[in-house]
Amino acid sequence: MTTPPSGPQQLPMSPQAPGSQRPPMSPQDRAKLEAMKRSWEQRRNIKTRLDKIRYKIAVYSGKGGVGKTTVAVNLAVMLAQQHQRVGLMDADIDCPNVVKAMKIEQRARYEDQEHRFIPAERWGVRVISTGFFQEKEDEAIIFRGPMIHNTITQFLEMTDWGDLDYLVVDMPPGTSDAAITIMQTLPLDGFVIVATPQELAQIDALRSINMIKKLNMHPIGVVENFSGDIFGHGGGEAVAKHAEIPFLGRLEMRGDYRDTSKPTVLGSKHVHKEYEQLVNKIRAALEVPATA
């Protein structure tokens, strides 16, 4: 006859090896395990979504007001003009200007049952932004660190982009927590850095490029915006030279941007030409990688 085991009873279905006597899990450990499972599941969901996107590029700058949103929007529309399937993600969570710059009236939708966001579509570009979820356009969005992180991960996890050739990301400026969160959560294929003609003196752009390099990411190159008679030119090129990365060209400061009825690439042939050249350089850098 066998004697019944002594000590704590082993639960049915327990993965515990026979004979080992692990104490039951504390509520704290159980919560930790659940959080780990959730984070793993989230990472797997993000990967499934991003696997359907060929190239993920970020438009980035050392500081605000240099034309980052303008470049992201016109770049995305220009890519769509070249028959690419394009998504545009507004990752400037505190300052979501993409909705306005794209002149989108329709909002992105959240589908409760499917647990997903359906991007709004305009000018052939699929768009997601916290701007869609603001009650009023002028409402201040005050996100603290963890909320920024959650918003970014939720966008990445739940936005149903479908198949895309390009996802263009309008980044928050500088080396803030928000910028770092995006760089760590989203495996970007490259960065387009927007600089101004006087940029080198302010070193913000160089600081941002150094951060990209430190995180082992790929700076595609620098574009100079607001180039021309008023602010001069040369800052973008100097930054590129200093950081030893390609210079992608100049975007002149023009009155054409005053017409806000549509993205300027669609309304100005000069701007269209500038962006055509910029997009061709970016596509060449990504699609035909330089050989060492």
Ligand X SMILES: Nc1ncnc2c1ncn2[C@@H]1O[C@H](COP(=O)(O)OP(=O)(O)O)[C@@H](O)[C@H]1O
Q: How far is the CB of 273 from ligand X (least distance, A)?
A: 13
Alpha-helix runs per DSSP H in 159-290: 177-185, 204-214, 235-243, 269-287
Q: How far is the CB of 271 from ligand X (least distance, A)?
A: 8
> Any contact of residue 97 with Mg ion (CB under 5 A)?
yes
Q: What is the DSSP letter of 16?
A: S
Specify the amino acid at residue 50: L
Q: How far is the CB of 63 from ligand X (least distance, A)?
A: 8
Q: How far is the CB of 52 from ligand X (least distance, A)?
A: 27
281 binds, among ligand X, Mg ion, none (CB under 5 to 8 A by kind): none
Report the candidate in 169, 250, 167, 182 with the shortest Cα–Cα distance to residue 212. 182
226 binds, among Mg ion, ligand X, none (CB under 5 to 8 A by kind): ligand X
Query: Which chain residues interact with ligand X by CB under 6 A?
Result: 61, 64-70, 97, 225-226, 251, 253-254, 257
Nearer Cβ to ligand X (1/230): 230
> Any contact of residue 196 with Mg ion (CB under 5 A)?
no
**Residue bearing tokens 């302010």:** 202
Give the CA diameter of the chain: 99
Rounded to an integer, what distance in angstroms lies between the CA atom of residue 263 and that of residue 32?
Answer: 47
Nearer Cβ to ligand X (220/223): 223
Nearer Cβ to Mg ion (88/285): 88
225 binds, among Mg ion, ligand X, none (CB under 5 to 8 A by kind): ligand X
Helices (H) and strands (E) in the chain, counts: 8, 10
- Could you give the 3-state DSSP secondary structure of residue 158? helix
- Could you give the 3-state DSSP secondary structure of residue 247? strand
253 binds, among ligand X, Mg ion, none (CB under 5 to 8 A by kind): ligand X
> Any contact of residue 69 with Mg ion (CB under 5 A)?
yes
Nearer Cβ to ligand X (158/265): 265
Q: How far is the CB of 35 from ligand X (least distance, A)?
A: 35
Rounded to an integer, what distance in angstroms lies between the CA atom of residue 281 and that of residue 286?
Answer: 9
Nearer Cβ to Mg ion (97/264): 97
DSSP structure string for 14-64: --SPTT--PPPPPHHHHHHHHHHHHHHHHHHHHHHHHTTEEEEEEEE-SST
Nearer Cβ to ligand X (157/224): 224
Report the candidate in 80, 77, 89, 84 with the shortest Cα–Cα distance to residue 160. 89
Q: How far is the CB of 260 from ligand X (least distance, A)?
A: 7
Specify the amino acid at residue 188: L
Contacts of 183 (CB under 8 A, 6+ apart): 211, 212, 215, 217
Q: How far is the CB of 267 from Mg ion (least distance, A)?
A: 20
Stretch of 94-102, 110-118, 144-152, 233-241 lying at the interface with Mg ion (CB under 5 A): 94-102
Nearer Cβ to ligand X (69/84): 69
Contact 115, 158 (CB under 8 A): yes
Interface residues with Mg ion (CB under 5 A)?
A: 68-69, 97
